[in-house]
Amino acid sequence: MSLFRKDTATRQITSFIKNIFGFRPKHIDIYKMALIHRSSSVNDEVGGRLNNERLEYLGDAVLDLVTADFLFRKYPLLPEGQLTEMRSKIVCRENLNALSRRIGLDKLVSIDAHVHAKSVNGDAFEAVMGAIYLDLGYEKTKEIFIQRILMTQLDLESLLAAEKNFKSKVLAWTQKRHLPVSYLHEEVDNQSKKLYKAILQVDGKPVAEGLGYTVKQAEQAAAEQYCAETIDS
């Protein structure tokens, strides 16, 4: 039995999946759930709360595997370190957020109007990939992501050539000026998901802050802010 009514949203999501990913969903409820931010959670038949967090978790793992598989086959001579960096550039939150806006996924996400989450659109894209995996299986998901996203929606060569390691950029900039760099870390109260704050210190002074679901993400976010406000300004 469907937990969602067949309404305008159903038609919009079905049309979106068909236009962007090239197929008609078998189980539309999975995709509807993939587009529900936890701030707009709905109740299931036994009082549970439904949102896209579990699908996001699954989609994140699927994207990592599909992208790693693609890069491993496309660049057979590259060492592990370079393959890892290339994968990170493709699946990083900044790129997935931009991709979601470009394909119009952001317009379908259900989120409380008072919530401002920078990663909501990238999270939704991961959740949709998790939904596709559950609906169609791994091989079809891999084919769709490579053909419909990597090869058509992303400028892969420009993306892979771009500087995305903001921590390395900060380190290189400060080393030239003989300035010590360090990061302080705090855990942030964020309901169901553990969130970290990283405080970037240059020459012993706090200069930027960043949030992330891992310490590494938080440090990259802080370094990105410092690059935007100081190094690249």
Residue 206, strand partner residues? 201
Exposed (0-12), middle (13-18) or buried (19+): which is 201, by Cβ within 10 Å? middle
Residue 227 DSSP label:
I
Whether the Cβ atoms of residue 184 and residue 198 lie closer than 8 Å to each other: yes
Report yes or no: 211 and 195 within 8 Å, Cβ to Cβ.
yes
Indicate the pairing of strand 181-188 with strand 195-202.
antiparallel
Residues involved in catalysis: 60, 126
Dihedral angle, C-alpha 125, 128, 130, 135, nearest 10 °: -160
- Token couple for 133: 């995996």
Alpha-carbon distances, residue 217 vs 47, 131, 167, 180, 200 (angstroms) = 34, 25, 10, 21, 13
For residues 226 and 167, the answer to whether their CB atoms sit within 8 Å is: no
Alpha-helix residue ranges (DSSP H) falling in the chain: 8-21, 28-34, 53-74, 80-91, 93-103, 120-136, 138-144, 156-161, 166-176, 215-226
> Quick one: tokens of 98?
């931009």
